[in-house]
């Protein structure tokens, strides 16, 4: 088994079982690593950075009156915004203070209408 794996790690199987030497051998052994790093960047790092920037932009744009959903699934309206926290009004008499990072998204009116329509359809179809 070592006779098969070792030449692959050393730059590919060479005629006569000799390892590649010089610039050509170095390039053939480095190219797969460069490709793996490039694919890793394109598929994982870049999309993650893009999502993080969008989330930071959304959190910095929080203002009083925005309807939000927290990462715990609590729906409410922003009552006040502080430097690192927000106070969310959940019910007429219930206000909860969260870290800004606990807000998962801001609910827009079009999403809200779609959610209400789906709940009306689900409750009306069972009757």
Whole-angstrom distance, CA of residue 87 vs CA of residue 77? 8
Average predicted confidence (pLDDT) for the chain:
81
Cα dist from 89 to 12, 18, 84, 108, whole Å:
64, 73, 17, 17
This prediction has a pTM of 0.57
Identify the band that residue 118 occupies on the pLDDT scale cut at 50, 70 and 90: low
DSSP structure string for the chain:
-HHHHHHHHTTS--GGGPPP-SHHHHHHHHHHHHHHHHHHIIIIIHHHHHHHHHHHHHHHT--TT-EEEETT--EEEEEEE-SSEEEEE-SSS-EEEEEGGGEEEEEPHHHHHHHHHHHHHHHHHT-
Domains of the chain by residue range: 2-59, 62-125
The CATH architecture annotation of domain 62-125 reads Roll (2.30)
pLDDT in the model for residue 94: 94
């Amino acid at each position: 088994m070592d006779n098969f794996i070792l030449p692959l790690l050393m730059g590919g199987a060479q005629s006569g079982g000799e390892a590649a030497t010089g610039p050509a051998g170095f390039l053939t052994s480095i190219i797969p690593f460069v490709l793996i790093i490039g694919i890793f960047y394109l598929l994982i790092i870049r999309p993650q950075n893009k999502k993080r920037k969008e989330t930071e932009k959304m959190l910095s744009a929080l203002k009083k009156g925005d309807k939000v959903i927290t990462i715990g699934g609590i729906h409410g309206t922003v009552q006040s915004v502080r430097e690192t926290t927000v106070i969310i009004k959940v019910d007429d008499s219930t206000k909860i203070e969260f870290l800004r990072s606990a807000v998962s998204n801001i609910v827009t009116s079009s999403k809200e209408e779609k959610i209400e329509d789906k709940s009306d359809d689900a409750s009306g179809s069972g009757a």
